[in-house]
Amino acid sequence: MNKKDLAEEYALEEYASVNGENDLIFEDNRCFTFEDLKAAFNAGRESVVENMPELEWKDNDIAIEEEFAFCPVGRYEVTRWDELFEIWRNSLFLGYRPSLSEAKQAANEDYKQRIKQALGV
Question: What is the per-residue pLDDT across 111-121, written as a single tens digit (0 to 9) for each?
Answer: 999 988 887 77
pLDDT at 69: 94
Question: What DSSP element (H or E) covers 78?
Answer: strand 74-81
pLDDT exceeds 80 at position 104: yes
For residue 44, how many C-alpha atoms fall within 13 Å in the half-sphere facing its CB?
15
Arithmetic mean of pLDDT, 22-37: 70
pTM: 0.66
Contact (Cβ atoms closer than 8 angstroms) between residue 87 and residue 76: yes
> Which residue pairs, CB below 8 angstroms and at least 24 apart, start in 116-119?
116/49, 118/73, 119/45, 119/48, 119/49
The pLDDT of residue 80 is 92
Please, which pLDDT band fits residue 38 given cuts at 50, 70 and 90?
Answer: confident
pLDDT at 1 over 50: no
Query: Which of 50 and 58 is assigned the larger pLDDT?
Result: 58
Q: Rg of the chain's alpha carbons, rounded to an integer?
A: 21
